[in-house]
Homo-oligomer: A and B are copies of this chain.
């Protein structure tokens, strides 16, 4: 902890690297010698061009993207992507496969259905309360895409290995694990991520689209703001972009490159942090992990207390000790430690220590 900062285990909006926050603060009244705040500069200025192009280039370097991908910044969060994807890619009789691994997957499919699009749920883990990631799925080879949610924030599961789709492009909601590990982007047609978990503040959605996948879109009847091509053609600046968000994402990506050493190193560190918590939970019979072991998320560690009635007290005492955001999602209850990229080793160790002490004091 620095000064009166807490250890923040919020699921999103979530902790950002302190170094990034300090840089935002330091330059807030005069961005790069412009004499203006970053929130006051024109998005048509050379200064902002540098900001957005830097964020795009850092994304390309981190994810090893060549020119066959667009890197875009949209608004409306992942929730607006849910309808935009079928609107752009499922015209007429086209169909897509969806894998249902929890709340957000369900919502993504539902928005396609509201639009009357022909989609199929190819696999679901609803039978076991979404505690695992389905395997050996048979996809419809007529599908335009296979939609997955790469990490399930609420249930604490994560695709550790992406499915074999037989060449059908994967469209993935990566809101809660974007930039937490390297990706083999060849499998993907489109990935999207609300920024507010791993890469920035809320209000920006990163969208990466393979150009040949975008070429399949039929969007002539769509409003300009709901076409991916509008953003691809204008470097995300058809209208005023969420400038502060794009700027902050750029700083987070700089931190990822320059402080954390890129995505291989980031993944190694994320494995280490999650490993500390899961090993402790597995060694205890006071805490119970809720996700199946081989589907566990490196980002959201979900657990219950063997006596569920103690959970309220657990969360309250943790908060008092400067460990915030440990309450599980309101739809499922329990406890959850969200340990995205910016979570520190120090924070995880403080949480472990608290969990050990709480167990000692409350074990009957």
- Which A residues fall within an 8 A CB radius of B? 1-6, 8, 10-16, 18, 21-22, 24-25, 28-30, 33-37, 39-44, 75-80, 82-83, 87, 111, 114-116, 194, 196, 200-204, 221-226, 238-245, 248, 322, 324-325, 330
Bound together, the chains give a CA A44 to CA B10 distance in angstroms of 10
Residues of the B chain whose Cβ atoms lie less than 8 Å from the Cβ of A83: 223-226
B325 close to A42 (CB less than 8 A) = yes
A223 close to B39 (CB less than 8 A) = no
CB distance from A44 to the nearest CB of B (A): 7
Bound together, the chains give a CA A34 to CA B10 distance in angstroms of 12
Which of B6, B33, B75 interacts with A75 by CB under 8 Å?
B75
B10 close to A224 (CB less than 8 A) = no
B203 close to A114 (CB less than 8 A) = no
Bound together, the chains give a CA A307 to CA B1 distance in angstroms of 61
B37 close to A16 (CB less than 8 A) = yes
CB distance from A192 to the nearest CB of B (A): 13
> Could you list some 30 contacts between A and B, CB below 8 A?
A4-B33, A6-B34, A11-B42, A12-B240, A13-B40, A13-B41, A13-B243, A14-B40, A16-B40, A21-B28, A21-B39, A22-B29, A35-B322, A36-B324, A39-B201, A44-B330, A75-B77, A75-B203, A79-B225, A80-B223, A82-B225, A83-B224, A111-B223, A114-B223, A115-B223, A202-B241, A202-B243, A203-B203, A203-B241, A203-B244
CB distance from A301 to the nearest CB of B (A): 17
CB distance from A2 to the nearest CB of B (A): 8
Which of B11, B24, B43, B82 interacts with A28 by CB under 8 Å?
B24
Residues of the B chain whose Cβ atoms lie less than 8 Å from the Cβ of A241: 202-203
Residues of the B chain whose Cβ atoms lie less than 8 Å from the Cβ of A226: 83
CB distance from A246 to the nearest CB of B (A): 9
Residues of the B chain whose Cβ atoms lie less than 8 Å from the Cβ of A29: 2-3, 5, 18, 21-22, 25
Smallest CB-CB separation from A329: which chain B residue?
Answer: B44
B39 close to A13 (CB less than 8 A) = yes
Residues of the B chain whose Cβ atoms lie less than 8 Å from the Cβ of A82: 223-225
Residues of the B chain whose Cβ atoms lie less than 8 Å from the Cβ of A245: 203, 242, 244
Top 4 nearest A-B pairs by Cβ distance? A203-B242, A83-B223, A6-B35, A75-B75
Residues of the B chain whose Cβ atoms lie less than 8 Å from the Cβ of A15: 36, 40
Which of B10, B80, B114 interacts with A222 by CB under 8 Å?
B114
A201 close to B243 (CB less than 8 A) = yes
Which of B12, B42, B239 interacts with A77 by CB under 8 Å?
B239
Smallest CB-CB separation from A33: which chain B residue?
Answer: B4
Bound together, the chains give a CA A240 to CA B304 distance in angstroms of 26
A43 close to B13 (CB less than 8 A) = yes
Residues of the B chain whose Cβ atoms lie less than 8 Å from the Cβ of A21: 28-29, 37, 39-40
CB distance from A355 to the nearest CB of B (A): 20
Residues of the B chain whose Cβ atoms lie less than 8 Å from the Cβ of A36: 5-6, 8, 10, 15, 324
Residues of the B chain whose Cβ atoms lie less than 8 Å from the Cβ of A224: 79, 82-83, 111, 114
